[in-house]
């Protein structure tokens, strides 16, 4: 069974690739989780974040933006002492700010999903990659998304982070065409 060449022998990496990466996500809580995790990844490897994912879920109230928006200095200090997550004050403060901005978008658009998926006309982009070396790090869509998110107050949402986010949540299908997941993901419903 062929997989994308970035997938190494780590069982966690294989599990993530085979069951999550590139699958279109429409659940707002899951979309928020991936947005936060991608921002936490800035300057680090995805595997570092993936290994700490459960710790993040516990530390950040299962990525509930309603709870996170009210985090105060006491909670920030508690998170800075949590060895199970990346203890970076700017990133932690960004999570709180992003929760507030996320809730504003939900209020304006009815859901974060509706806001987000319009950047790809509600249909995943299939890049038909023959080799992982062809993968982009940004796109016109990720640049537009980044610019709009920043305008709305989000942090740690540069074009590269947004592109990785779009890959993770299935807005972009960057499974190589020889990967068994490429066609499986392609057949999945894009918008509900």
- Catalytic residues, which ones? 16, 38, 46
The packing angle between helices 159-168 and 28-41, to 10°, is 130
Helix, strand or coil, per DSSP, at residue 153: coil
SS3 126: strand
* Cross-strand pairs, 126: 173
H/E segment holding residue 125: strand 125-126
Q: What is the three-class DSSP state of 17?
A: helix
The beta-carbon contacts of 7-16 under 8 Å, at least 24 apart in sequence, are: 10/47, 12/47, 12/50, 12/51, 13/47, 13/50, 16/50
The owner of tokens 């928006």 is 69
**Nearest CA among 36, 180, 182 for reference residue 112:** 36
């Amino acid at each position: 069974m062929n997989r994308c060449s970035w997938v190494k022998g780590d069982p966690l990496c294989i599990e993530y690739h085979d069951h999550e990466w590139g699958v279109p996500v429409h659940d707002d809580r899951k979309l928020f989780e991936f947005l936060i995790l991608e921002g936490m990844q800035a300057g680090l490897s995805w595997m570092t974040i993936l290994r700490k994912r459960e710790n993040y879920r516990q530390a950040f109230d299962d990525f509930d933006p309603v709870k996170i928006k009210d985090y105060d200095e006491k909670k920030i200090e508690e998170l800075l002492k949590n060895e199970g997550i990346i203890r970076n004050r700017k990133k932690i403060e960004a999570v709180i700010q992003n929760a507030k901005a996320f809730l504003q978008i939900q209020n304006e658009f009815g859901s974060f999903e509706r806001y987000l998926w319009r950047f790809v006309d509600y249909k995943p982009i299939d890049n038909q990659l023959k080799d992982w070396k062809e993968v982009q790090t940004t796109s016109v869509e990720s640049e537009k998304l980044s610019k709009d998110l920043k305008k709305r107050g989000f942090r740690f949402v540069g074009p590269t982070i947004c592109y990785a986010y779009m890959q993770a949540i299935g807005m972009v299908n960057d499974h190589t065409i020889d990967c068994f997941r490429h066609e499986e993901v392609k057949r999945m419903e894009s918008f509900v």
